[in-house]
Structure 1
Amino acid sequence: MNIDVTNCDKEPIHIPGKIQSHGFLIVIDANGYIKYHSENIVNYLNDLPANLLGTHISTIEPIIGKNEPPNFINHLITLGKSNGFEQTNPFNTDLRGRPFHLIISQSADYYLLEFESARSDSNTDVQRTIGRSISEMLVDKNLQNLLNNSAIQVKNVIGYDRVMVYRFAEDGHGEVIAEARNAELPSWLGLHYPASDIPKQARELYKKSLTRLIVDVNAEPSAIITDADNTQVLDLTDSQLRAVSPIHIQYLKNMGVASSFSISLIYKQELWGLIACHNYSPRYIDFRSRESAKLIGQILSSALEFRQDEENQQVMDRYKSAVDQLSRLMLKDSSIEFALTAHDISVLDVVDAGGAVLMLEENVIKIGETPNDDQLKELVNWTKANVIDSLYYTNRLSGIYSAAEAYKDVASGVMISTLSRELDEYVFWFKPEQLEVVKWAGNPEKPVETDVEGNRILSPRNSFEEWSQTVTATSANWTNEEIKSVIRLRSEIAYALNQKAGAIRLLNEKLKQAYEELDTFSFTISHDLKNPISAIKSYAQILMRDKELKPQAMKALERINAGADKMNNMIQEVLEYSRIGRSELILSDLDPTSMIAEHVRELSLIYEVDPAVVTIRNTPPIKGDPVMVSQVFANVISNAIKYSKKASPQQIVIDATVDDREVVYTISDNGLGIDIKHLPRVFELFNRMDNVGDIEGTGVGLAIVKRIIEKHRGKIWVDSELGKGSTFYIAFNKA
């Protein structure tokens, strides 16, 4: 593959066809026959033939394990498949009187047998010093001090000339945020490196292989040979010896680096950064020492996650407290806008912003630093014309809306919560410009060279002299915690408006009109669509009785039949949604305990899961319509079970809290979760997330649940994280 400026991030670095030359590779199939091996095997075992392809591994086992019992490699593979190869690696063996490590991993249907020296270049016993180093590393609770200590301790353990903690930003570029180095070396602390230096596919490999050693950038890699008729490409993702991209090798040479070693840092199952180690002469670290170093990375990753979660929780608690206080004030004060802006706690406190504007009931109230009235009026017009979602945010407003350049000092970042587009009711939050001087390690634009055929070829940067760039018209990013806080506040404002607003409000009139139109639509689809759908289904079933139908035709009829069933279900759910608006509430005192337990039993049978995956805790009494409340619990519990089926172990918790105003039930799962950008639309009709795949559903259930809860004058909201699960909160009034 020719690597140029257009496809650097597509370079197939997991299938290089070569290995680093400080070890050798043998690849066998499930029957033990050699299908690939590295050319340099003769450098280690010179009495073997240069070509071992087709040979059974048992014929050379006496050479690569002279003191081992027959068939020992097959036994190691069997044990590794059962318990994980991390339990068997490395296997100590002896080659011509030299201690070697045998490391086994799987690649598709093949097994990689990698042989490396069991002795490092360094005299430091990494495994003995690791415990003390980890203790020193964790001595300080401050996050930055933790990173500084980690760099120092890793340098003490492996002895490389320079050790850096390198953190990735959202766009993939990285920054050196901690460093330990030899005194004669210049500092790289604070330098930024473009995303193309470690492209996307390389970052993905760092998530799978937590350590990566490059012994000598000047050593020639050894090719991997196979039979001419073998067209299967050998995937070396899990290989220890996998050769390095020629671009990256040249990049290291341009930096003057002879050897590198990296340890991945993982946060929430994503690549947070690297402990990147550089040496200016070749260095080899044996497998056991690398595994010990990997332990440092895993412990630091856990410590990072704990420290970061602790900081995030403090921020979330602060935001939650502000929203809770505003919620109480809105229900207590006669004016909602007064409640949101006139107290010690205001809308400005639900995020970290420099200013906020509330537009409600034809009032415009400004807090903190904001654009002026004329600028706000133009911004509202732009918002109405360009912002579709109920929640919108950016940290580069002037890059999208050029008029904002005039007030970028107070509003480079904006978050907009739309309360009513028709009534021009919004909440705006503004973040000021955050001037930042980014110090790059050389110009971040990689130079381009032209080859003899005129192709533009990517050339690794040669200059790493500090290159400064001033970033303007950009604010601090809006965090996930801020986004969730605003979503919660919007829900509380809507609830307060519904509680206090009279029939004269235009919004209620529009809702009434929409409900009437929905009723008409519901009856129309009931009468005008159900009959033809039934006819389609009947004709399809008649045709399916024809024994002479071809399989392809039968499959098409089955899909028609299934589609008719799905449409019937959707019609039925739309009718149910419509009926809720017309149904009268029959309020009574309810004890949901048996109701919830019965739903769990039934839904466990339907979705074929063990009822024990659902933990039922506190279930205090509530006041509500028995039929409708049962429908709410059935729907939310059903979603929790079906969207967490792939979790291992699957965990669902049903609990509740009680205060003087309301009973709040929570239903939590550890399933697919919801992308934060979809949270504002979770309860909309026919809205389904992108990640649900083929899981059954019509996108109506949660809309029905929300309508029932609002009919009970209650509240429902959700907190979710993609890949981590969801928690639904259902609040019932005690009065």
Structure 2
Amino acid sequence: MNTNQVDLTNCDKEPIHIPGRIQSHGFLIAIDIDTLLIKYVSLNTFKFIEVEAADLLDKSILFLEEQMIFKDDKVQLKSLLILGSQKDSYEGINPYYLNIKGQPFYLIISKSGAYHVLEFEPAILDFDIQGTVGRSISGILAGRRLISMMENTADEIKKIIGYDRVMVYKFHDDGHGEVIAEAKNEDLEPFYGLHYPASDIPKQARALYLLNYTRIIADVNTNDSAVITTSDNFSALDLTHSVLRAVSPIHIQYLKNMGVDSSFSISLITNGKLWGLIACHNYTPKFIDYKARESTKLIGQILSSALEYRQEEEDDEKVKLLLAHAEELQQSLVADQDFISALTTHRVTIKDVTHSTGVVICFEGRLYTLGQVPAEEEIKMLVAWLTTTMEDSVYHTSQLPEVFSPAKNFKSTASGILAAMLSKDLGEFVIWFKPEQITTVHWAGNPEKPMTETPDGHMDLSPRNSFESWAQIVENTSASWTREEIASVIKIRHKLLDVINKKANEIRALNERLKLAYEELDTFSYTISHDLRTPLTSIKSYTELVLATNKSLDEQGKMLLNRVLAGANKMAFLINEILKLARVGRSDLKAEQLDMGSILEEIKTDALNVDGARHVTVKIGATPSILGDPTLITQIFANLIGNAVKYSVSAIDPMVVVSGEDGGDEVIYTIKDNGIGIDLNYHDKVFELFKRMDNAKGYQGTGVGLAIVKRIVEKHNARIWFESELKVGTVFYVAFRK
């Protein structure tokens, strides 16, 4: 038994960039950049130029030229290397055609630390790169959809290199790969749809795919050639950018297990990450010369750019559709007097704001359903569970039976749920459903199968031997809920709550709770003003007096008293904020037509007088008048503009823009900034009392301001909403009825 085993769990530690060997279809010579002396040579050099490799070490480049019989006497290797050094690039040189002893070669030069690396490969001279690439790209981009573009790619690459099988291989988030397109000889079994474990391509190999866009293994059955060096230099030559670099014996065994004699790959890179590979297999040895490889590399780069664009385009189409559905549903809610009718009877229904297969609305003690949903009793059990366990306003899972075991009885319709809470106390929810998606993943062999030793002592380094399909069944799981679906539900939930609060305010149990809350708030505000403010004032006054008059205080004593004073000031600020919130509920509206231009200019001046805010640009656009209470309206815009300035101060060019426009029966004001933005996970908590975002905790505030704004807006029978993205900025909209 071989005790020094290398398997697919530890091969990611193998230093594949310094193998000390090259593939034997070409030869390699490395020359010191400063001295132009030969320091590394591949042992197989004799096969090509009839000079022993050891006899070349420490010789000058001129000696090398003398030993190589060039058909063209004008060839000067020294001049090529000097030119590459001056330009700090060999792109304009590679590949350089040479005729060595009557045989055509391409010279490919790269840099490795302190060395010029010269690699000589056989050349095929009748290859038309420009024409080939042009025709192939036209064929590839003819595909309107992403998948058809991948299929066209496999076909076109197969035409260029003539390999038996060409696959487009996509990496999933967990690192494993899937064959999503394939072009093959008719006599071969299909690999399309097969999945391969992440361990098949270890992390250091993926890193090299990001640096070298093509990689050929011409013949897995030939012996590699060692690279020797001078005795005083013990470090292995870094072959990261080498085209002849030898292949890991693990990978060679892997290919042999597949029956593959020759392999070629092209990297597909999007957003700086390895998206996948164009993986090519041939079942006999087959060499592809440098220019042909460069043409496929160019195709891969063009495809990568197109891939990024097409993927974003298809994702955008899905997002736009959900947004359009949410917008149309909001319009139905405004136009239709009947809440349930607006959600269930129009062209776009509540089900269409996600990619669900069914939805239930639990409202006022009744269930309203669309599409495929569980039975009524099962829904009631689910609602009871959500009422007791759901803490946030929106909850989603794609494995409901794993967290709520009764769901195993109705997993065919509801293995995934996305629930929006309307009222926890009343058990009112909207719940979208996705069915169990029996995900059959066809692995090319069992990915959990252990490595075994074959009778001849070799390790079966592939997790598959027979390459029969092995199916992994994932039960109790639905398709995942996307970020866009969740955002769409959060948006529509806000609208539903607005409609519920406006149309059913008098008859809902929530209204009684709100009345009680207002009474308690009045009592609380009275206690604050009479029982807390007086002793707080005394604390501040006596602390200031001691600081001013007691000369015997040491520095530590002064520091402690200053902390007391700072705490008292902070408490006074919080008390004032709470009193403002309480007054909004108690005060009567004194509506009048307001000159918004003068109000906003005054607020702008105050906002920019805050320390650290003077460099913020605040632009006031159109300022149509609105009908409202001057004090309360000023409070709305002072909060919103103050926040916009405060959270934009750290931007590169902080900018706040305030403008109003006539929206028909409403006047809509927008307050836009380019500040820190609001995390999607907090979008439904923004107007809640004392709620502060994680990224806002470095800024002064209490979490009361937007709660005050929301209450004033509702008191004016107006609307407020926002759009935000982290590190991009926020836009608040306030719509006032005319």
Q: TM-score, normalised by structure 1?
A: 0.73
Alignment partners' CA distance in 1, 2:437 and 2:638: 51
* 1:341-380 pair list within 5 angstroms: 341-380=344-383
* Alignment partner of 1:391 is 2:390: no
1:270–1:494 CA distance, 2 compared to 1 (3 A): farther
- Selected match of 2:320 from 306, 317, 322: 317
Q: Is the 8 A contact 1:622 1:734 kept in 2?
A: no
Deviation at 1:135, TM superposition (A): 1.0
CA contact (8 A) 1:262 1:275 kept: yes
Q: Distance in 1 between matches of 2:573 and 2:243?
A: 55
Alignment RMSD (CA, Å): 5.8
Structure 2 letter corresponding to 1:697: G
Matched, 1:421 2:413: no
- Equivalent runs, 1:479-494 vs 2, <5 Å: 479-494=482-497
Moved more, 305-314 or 111-120: 111-120
Q: Report how many residues are paired.
A: 686
- Which amino acid in 2 is paired with 1:11? K
1:443 counterpart (441, 446, 460): 446
CA offsets 1:293-321 (integer angstroms, 9 cap, x no match)? 23322332333343333333333333223
CA distance in 2, matches of 1:238, 1:532: 75
Distance 1:316 1:459 in 2: 41
| Match in the other structure for 2:136 | 133
TM superposition shift of 1:152: 0.9
For the 8 Å contact 2:621–2:657, the answer to whether it is kept is: no
Cα deviation code 1:315-357 (max 9, x no counterpart) = 3333223222332333444554443334443211111212111
Which residue number in structure 2 is paired with residue 581 of structure 1? 581
Q: Which amino acid aligns with 1:66?
A: L
Name the counterpart of 1:635.
Answer: 643
Matched, 1:102 2:105: no
Q: If you compute each CA radius of gyration, which structure gives the higher value, 1 or 2? A: 2
1:272 paired residue among 264, 272, 275: 275
Q: Identity over aligned residues, as a percent?
A: 33
In the alignment, what sits opposite 1:220?
Answer: 224
What amino acid maps onto 2:185 in structure 1? N
Moved more, 291-300 or 480-489: 291-300
Q: Structure 1 counterpart of 2:186, which letter?
A: A
Separation in structure 2 between the aligned mates of residue 60 and residue 518 of structure 1, nearest angstrom: 94
> Contact 1:593 / 1:619 at 8 angstroms: preserved in 2?
no
Please report how far the alpha carbon of residue 500 of structure 1 lies from its aligned counterpart in structure 2 after TM superposition. 4.3
1:590 to 569, 590, 596: 596
Correspondence for 1:116:
119
Q: Provide the residue aligned with 1:718 in structure 2.
A: 723
2:77 maps to 66
Contact persistence 1:398–1:404 (CA under 8 A): yes
1:528-579 Cα deviation digits (max 9, x unpaired): 999999999xxxx958x9xxxxxxxxxxx9xx9xx99999999899678646
Q: Displacement of 1:69 after TM fit?
A: 7.4
Q: Please state whether the residue corresponding to 1:357 is helix, strand or coil.
A: strand
Contact 2:164 2:283 in 1 (8 A): yes
How far apart are 1:527 and its partner, in Å? 8.4
Separation of aligned partners in 1, 2:35 and 2:495:
67
Structure 2 matches for 1:602-613, cutoff 5 A? none
2:195 match: 192
Do the aligned partners of residues 172 and 578 (structure 1) sit closer, same or farther apart at CA in structure 2, a change above 3 Å counting?
farther
Find out whether 1:477 has 2:456 as its counterpart: no
* Per-residue deviation, 1:391: 2.6
Question: Match for 2:77: what amino acid?
Answer: K
Provide the C-alpha distance between the structure 2 equivalents of 1:89 and 1:517, rounded to a whole number of angstroms: 85
**Which amino acid counterpart does residue 732 of structure 1 have in structure 2?**
A
CA distance in structure 2 between the partners assigned to 1:417 and 1:501 by the alignment: 19
Please, which moves more after superposition, 521-530 or 703-712? 521-530
- Distance in 2 separating the partners of 1:300 and 1:488: 36
Superposed displacement of residue 165, structure 1: 1.5
1:308 corresponds to which of 292, 298, 311? 311
1:149 offset after TM fit, Å? 1.3
What are the within-5 Å matches in structure 2 for residues 541-556 of structure 1?
Answer: none
Specify the alignment match of 2:551 in structure 1. Answer: none
Paired residue for 1:183, among 175, 182, 186?
186
Distance 2:200 2:542 in 1: 60
1:391–1:278 CA distance, 2 compared to 1 (3 A): farther
**Selected match of 1:156 from 153, 156, 159:** 159
Measured against aligned partners, the alpha-carbon deviations of 1:427-465 in whole angstroms (never above 9, x if no partner) come to: 2101122344433322232423489xxxx9975422212
Deviations 1:468-507 (A, max 9, x none): 4444433233233222211211222233344445376266
Q: In the TM superposition, what whole-angstrom CA distance separates every residue of 1:166-194 from its partner, at most 9, and x where no partner exists?
A: 22334333322211123332222222223
Query: Judging changes above 3 Å, is the alpha-carbon distance between structure 1 residues 262 and 565 closer, same or farther for their aligned structure 2 residues?
Result: farther
Match of 2:146 among 139, 143, 164: 143
Instruction: Classify 1:509/1:258 alpha carbon distance in 2 versus 1 (closer, same or farther; 3 Å).
Output: farther
Any conservation in 1 of the 2:621–2:660 contact (CA below 8 Å)?
A: yes
Q: Which of 67-76 and 409-418 deviates more?
A: 67-76
Letter in 1 for 2:306: A
Structure 1: unaligned runs, 5 residues or longer: 546-556
In structure 2, C-alpha distance between the alignment counterparts of 1:488 and 1:58, rounded to whole Å: 74
Per-residue CA distance 1:238-259 (angstroms, 9 max, x = gap): 6666654443332222112233
Q: Distance in 2 between matches of 1:596 and 1:93?
A: 73
Q: Deviations over 1:109-139 (max 9, x none)?
A: x467443336556954334410111012112
After TM superposition, the structure 1 stretch with the greater mean CA deviation from structure 2, 278-287 or 343-352, is 278-287
Aligned to 1:550: none
> Could you tell me which amino acid in structure 2 is paired with residue 101 of structure 1?
I
Structure 1 residue 203: deviation in Å? Answer: 4.7
Equivalent residue for 1:258? Answer: 261
1:76 corresponding residue in structure 2 = 87
Hey, what's the Cα distance between the residues in 1 that align with 2:539 and 2:416? 48
Partner of 2:479: helix, strand, or coil?
A: coil
